[in-house]
A and B are shown apart, each in its own frame.
Chain A
Amino acid sequence: MFRLHSFRWDSMNVVFVVLGVLIMFFISFPLLKTVLSPSPGTLWNTLLQDEVYYSILLTICAAVIATLFGLLFGVPLAYLLARRNFRGKSLLEGLIDVPIVIPHSAAGVALLFVFGQQFLLGKVFHVIGIDFFNTIAGVIIAMMFVSLPFLIDSAKEGFQGVDVKLEKVARTLGASPWRSFFRVSLPLAARSIFSGSVMMWARGISEFGAILILAYHVPFLGHNPVVAPILVADRFNYGLDYTLPVAGLVILISLVIFIALRMIAYRGDRA
């Protein structure tokens, strides 16, 4: 952390602090008001409704699975991008970030167009018993598609921060490329990968547009829930009073998990 040695209330600092306070207020006030306006009892009762409970469970589980797939497929790619130079690399890096910039409902259409049962990949997966339209698998790939960039970019930065000489030394000491990766590169990039995973997971649970197209109601543990962001929107059709406790609950749970994970990721930083 840097320290301001001589902070003075000159005009620039005054303006910047005021603007900063306003934007923090803008971020935190709606969140706090939504979480705090329903009574704790109302929040608890809302959670006990099957429709809400299974929706939140589905959302969290699907985002976790999406993140695990992201780790499996994204981390090796991140390593390659961090370590190797090849023709078309910057094009590839740009491509990875495209899901962030396109409208997510359009992303959902694009996914449906490839993974729908009557289309190519959809047919292939159907053979092995996986369908994506209105199933949890669809929720997972929709979440993956829009949130992978967060994990890949963060993991790539993590690997870039690992001195390549450390890997070279490991090799001369008898480590195969695999062992050098798992014993040196991966542990040293672990924090970045973890925080990237948290971001991916968080982005996953907030996904709305792509899931709306690809997997609206999905069979899940004997129920037929929608993901939490869709539930909030659905309930809004019946009025603010009806949707507010759900929104509060979703924000609260997201916030608690997000803060907890960040504390794990940054533990030891101040040691």
Chain B
Amino acid sequence: MIAIKDLTVDLGEFMLRDITLDIRDSEYFIILGPTAAGKTVLLEAIAGLYPVVHGEVWINDREITGISPEKRKIGIVYQDQSLFPHLSVAQNIAFGLSFRKLSRDEVRSRVDDMAHMLGIAHLLERRPNTLSGGEKQRVALGRALVTNPDMLLLDEPLSALDPETKESLQRVLAEVHRRLGVTTMHVTHDFEESMVLGDRVAVLHQGRIAQVGTPEQILRQPNSEFMAHFSLSRNVFSGKVVSQDEGYALVDIGGVQLAAMTSQEEQVHLSLRPEDVLLSLEHLGSSARNSFPGAIADIVDRGSVVYVTVTLPPDLTCMITRQSFRDLGLQRGMTVWVTFKASSVHVF
């Protein structure tokens, strides 16, 4: 297990403050945050490459805060791969093994195994500058993994790649993690990437951890207005609980009263994901507690899906497929019905 306690790092312009995280064995942990939020520095601080102001880093009940990087057993892969340009692919991968007392055959076979697993066996004699971005990233991954680190740090490993390469490397990362079970910390600014790969996700906001949870929790149970917006809930309201009945509450959000499942009282925040809202031309006689008519205020076509904003008031955004958008023949100003379950409304 890897524990980070109250870690504070000075970045000059601002600070990362009191970062506390517990990462479980073999977990794929994602740090999600905007560009220039200090994500790289956080990784470097964990690896011992950047000084910490205070705080502790523990690996398997061993404190490593003051230990030099070469003794930490933490591998790192940078966004730009940082392969050694003067060494071949094979020499790059073998680099970390050269500091151990291993026979030449042992090194050779470990490099070969790693190269095979990553699909780069045919590149071993090549120089880094002749490789594509995806190939370089695999080499960097192999170089870090071949030493069997206690922890693997990935700094935006997919960000500099074209969409196709990115998808295939994403599969490689998932596959490698499944096979080797190495505890992994992956930082990214890509929300979707974090949802696909992460066992758990920590969201970094203004130098602090805003929320830690499974992708499902991050998506459905934001713990703050910032998180609700960040996770693209789109529908974030504040309101007041007007009635409570055994976990069912009616919340007045100024205009309409939404049914939600909560035992909270008084002032609350609500979020509702656009994909959880049904849109229809007629009132649906369903069991869903929330059903309201409204006029279409805006239509945003995103290619495969369409976002439709309906004014109840307030404005509510729902997401529908392109197919149903066409079937319903929606246009601005039309009156439609929006319907969603009380359990889809997240109260915080």
Chain A residues in the interface with B (C-beta under 8 A):
163, 165-166, 168-176, 179, 183-184, 187-188
**Closest chain A CB from B183 CB (angstroms):** 15
10 cross-chain CB contacts under 8 A: A166-B82, A168-B76, A168-B82, A169-B76, A170-B84, A172-B47, A172-B75, A174-B100, A175-B95, A188-B85
Cβ-defined contact, B49 with A168, below 8 A: yes
Complex: A183 Cα to B74 Cα, angstroms: 20
Contacts of B271 in A (CB 8 A): none
Complex contacts, A172 vs chain B, CB 8 Å:
47-49, 69-70, 72, 74-76, 144, 149
Interface size class of B (residues with CB under 8 A): 20 to 34
Contact B82 A175 (CB under 8 A): no
Q: In the complex, A183 Cα to B94 Cα: how many Å? A: 13
- Select one of B68, B84, B100 contacting A171, CB under 8 A: B68
Which chain B residues lie closer than 8 Å to A176 at the CB level?
68, 70
Contact with A along B50-84 (1 / 0, CB 8 A): 00000000000000000011101011101010101
| Interchain CB contact under 8 A, A179 and B99 | yes
Question: Contacts A173-B96, A173-B147, A174-B96 given: A168-B69 contact, CB under 8 Å?
Answer: yes
Q: Are B44 and A173 in contact (CB under 8 A)?
A: no
Assess whether B70 is in contact with A174, with CB atoms less than 8 Å apart. Answer: yes
Is the C-beta of B86 less than 8 angstroms from some C-beta in chain A? yes
> B143 at the A/B interface (Cβ < 8 Å)?
yes
Q: In the complex, what residue of chain A is closest to B75 when comparing beta carbons?
A: A172
A173/B82 in contact, CB under 8 A:
no
For B47, the chain A residues whose CB sits under 8 A away are 168, 172
Docked Cα-Cα span, A184 to B96, in Å, equals 12
Residues A184 and B84 in contact, CB atoms below 8 Å apart: yes
Of A173, A174, A175, A188, most buried by chain B (CB within 10 Å of CB) is A173
Chain B residues, CB < 8 A from A183: 95
Interfacial residues of chain B within 72-121, with CB under 8 A of chain A in the complex: 72, 74-76, 78, 80, 82, 84-86, 95-96, 99-100
Shortest CB-to-CB span from B2 to chain A, Å, is 15
The 4 closest A-B pairs by CB, nearest first: A173-B96, A174-B99, A171-B69, A165-B82
Closest to B49 in A: A168
Give the one of A168, A170, A172, A175 with max B CB within 10 A. Answer: A172
Q: Which residue of B lies closest to A187 (CB)?
A: B86
In the bound complex, residues from chain A placing their C-beta under 8 Å from that of B100 are 174
**Contacts A172-B48, A172-B70 given; 17 further ones with Cβ under 8 A?**
A168-B49, A168-B76, A169-B76, A170-B84, A170-B95, A171-B48, A171-B68, A171-B69, A172-B74, A172-B75, A172-B149, A173-B99, A173-B143, A173-B144, A174-B147, A175-B70, A179-B99
